[in-house]
Amino acid sequence: MGSRVESSAFSMACGDSKESRWDVEEEQELEPEEEVMSEVHIGCPPGFSGPHISRFTVSFPADCDSRENQLSGEDGSLKHQMVCVDEDGDLVLIRRRKLSTHCFTLTIQHNITSSIPRVGLQVWKAELALSDFVLQMISTSKLDDIISVELGAGTGLVGMLLARVAKKVFLTDHGDDILGNCLKNVHLNCGLLNHKAALCVRELDWFRQWPPEVRPENVGSEERFSWTCSEVEEAESAALIFAADVIYSDDLTDALFSTLKRLMSRGTEKILYLALEKRYNFSLNDMDVVANGYSYFRHYVRDEGGRSILDHEESPGFVGRCIDLTQVPQYVLSYERGNDVEIWEIKYIRENSLS
């Protein structure tokens, strides 16, 4: 029996797309092998299996700061360039020409459907909302030359946007198929990335304690997504952590916050930006429509200012606030953000800071 996964935000992987959204009358438990589909992919070729290519256009307002215009892709499309990787499989970025137009296009390889353990092969709504938020931060220079870590990177969309201005970005997820697809997307979009940035795709299993196992420095390895000791130190020095669409299983939420507690309590102080979508079910226990996964997540996070809505005595260190998304422009076109997506700014107050 798999972990409880809230089903109402997932679409069935079969049948007519207009009727593919589940009408949930009670809490259901999805088995790991069941196929699900992101609402972002409704309208993709029905019955298609295997990798699919989608293009996401990012558009800045015409009166936007010239900095944003310089970050946009020339002629609104990707340039085909030679892709170079080092012996570890990390991308060696190529210098790009000065850019001057108002939009660019990201090419993303993804699956249209997947099993629950492989949902990182799809693009999800909160991932696009977090992309909008990152693009807004980019326009204000807040992300220039930072080191950042993305947890549950999936297709790598958010991390690649970060790599347009960051010093180093760690794209982390679990499973060779998801990591391999993420690396493929980095290759597909290398012409849009900052030529000075280092972008690393790395394995990170939340069910194992941080730090991850490391391999020797300057030694080639068949495990191309493994960490070195210096990379672990760099990740612990990161200023910002990003995560999107990682709240859908209580067991996974437990593992996520266990990893966050260890990662955010080491090295420099960090801020987590976590995007999620509330997933609703009708609960027979509550006799009401509830978002149990969201409520479980809130057990881990106290409202900023010390006033807690839901206390969780085992995790007193996380405090956060919900960001007003009405103040975040939609730069990524052709998706419906809706009212159930939230982005949280979360900090970890270390034990010696609590009083």
> Could you tell me which residues come within 8 angstroms of residue 351 by beta carbon, excluding any fewer than 6 positions away?
265, 317
> Residue 136 CA to chain centroid, in angstroms?
16
> Could you tell me which residues come within 8 angstroms of residue 274 by beta carbon, excluding any fewer than 6 positions away?
242, 243, 244, 246, 247, 343, 344, 346
Q: What is the pLDDT of residue 60?
A: 74
Residue 76 has what DSSP assignment? G
CA atoms within 13 A on the CB side of 258: 14
Residue 107 or residue 284, greater confidence: 107
Average of pLDDT values for 322-327? 98
Instruction: Report the alpha-carbon distance of residue 152 to residue 172 in Å, rounded.
Output: 6
Residue 333 has pLDDT above 80, yes or no: yes
Instruction: Report the alpha-carbon distance of residue 143 to residue 161 in Å, rounded.
Output: 10
Instruction: Report the alpha-carbon distance of residue 149 to residue 336 in Å, rounded.
Output: 26
CATH placement of domain 43-353: 3.40.50.150
Average of pLDDT values for 27-31? 55
8 A C-beta contact, residue 222 and residue 169: no
Computed over every residue of the chain, the mean pLDDT equals 80
Instruction: Report the alpha-carbon distance of residue 215 to residue 210 in Å, rounded.
Output: 15
Instruction: Report the alpha-carbon distance of residue 152 to residue 127 in Å, rounded.
Output: 10
Q: What is the pLDDT of residue 44?
A: 74
Instruction: Report the alpha-carbon distance of residue 220 to residue 224 in Å, rounded.
Output: 8
Residue 136 has pLDDT above 90, yes or no: yes
Q: Which of 100-114, 289-303, 335-349 has the highest mean pLDDT?
A: 335-349
User: pLDDT digit string (tens) for 309-322?
Assistant: 444 444 458 999 99
Instruction: Report the alpha-carbon distance of residue 143 to residue 166 in Å, rounded.
Output: 6
Instruction: Report the alpha-carbon distance of residue 64 to residue 193 in Å, rounded.
Output: 20
Is omega for the bond preceding 32 within 30 degrees of 0, making it cis?
no
Residue 355 has pLDDT above 80, yes or no: no
Show the tokens assigned to 209: 């304690």
Instruction: Report the alpha-carbon distance of residue 116 to residue 344 in Å, rounded.
Output: 24
Phi-psi group of 203: left, alpha or beta (phi > 0 → left; psi -120 to 50 → alpha; rest → beta): beta
The lowest-confidence range among 129-138, 171-180, 218-227, 272-281 is 218-227
Average of pLDDT values for 263-278? 97
Instruction: Report the alpha-carbon distance of residue 157 to residue 275 in Å, rounded.
Output: 13
- Token pair 């609703």 in the structure block, residue: 280
Domain parsing of the chain, residue ranges:
43-353
Show the tokens assigned to 63: 């009166």
Taking alpha carbons only, the member of 104, 99, 101 closest to residue 56 is: 104
Average of pLDDT values for 292-317? 73
293: amino acid identity, one letter: G
Strands 51-59 and 103-111, bridge-based pairing: antiparallel
212: amino acid identity, one letter: P
Residue 218 or residue 109, greater confidence: 109
Average of pLDDT values for 318-345? 96
Taking alpha carbons only, the member of 335, 288, 350, 339 closest to residue 56 is: 335
8 A C-beta contact, residue 354 and residue 316: yes
Average of pLDDT values for 325-337? 95
Show the tokens assigned to 306: 């010390």
User: pLDDT digit string (tens) for 48-74?
Assistant: 777 899 999 999 765 454 555 555 544
Q: What is the pLDDT of residue 281?
A: 74
331: amino acid identity, one letter: Y
DSSP per residue over 137-162, as a string? Answer: HHHTTTTTT-EEEEES-TT-HHHHHH
Residue 140 has pLDDT above 60, yes or no: yes
- Token pair 């800045």 in the structure block, residue: 60
Instruction: Report the alpha-carbon distance of residue 60 to residue 86 in Å, rounded.
Output: 34
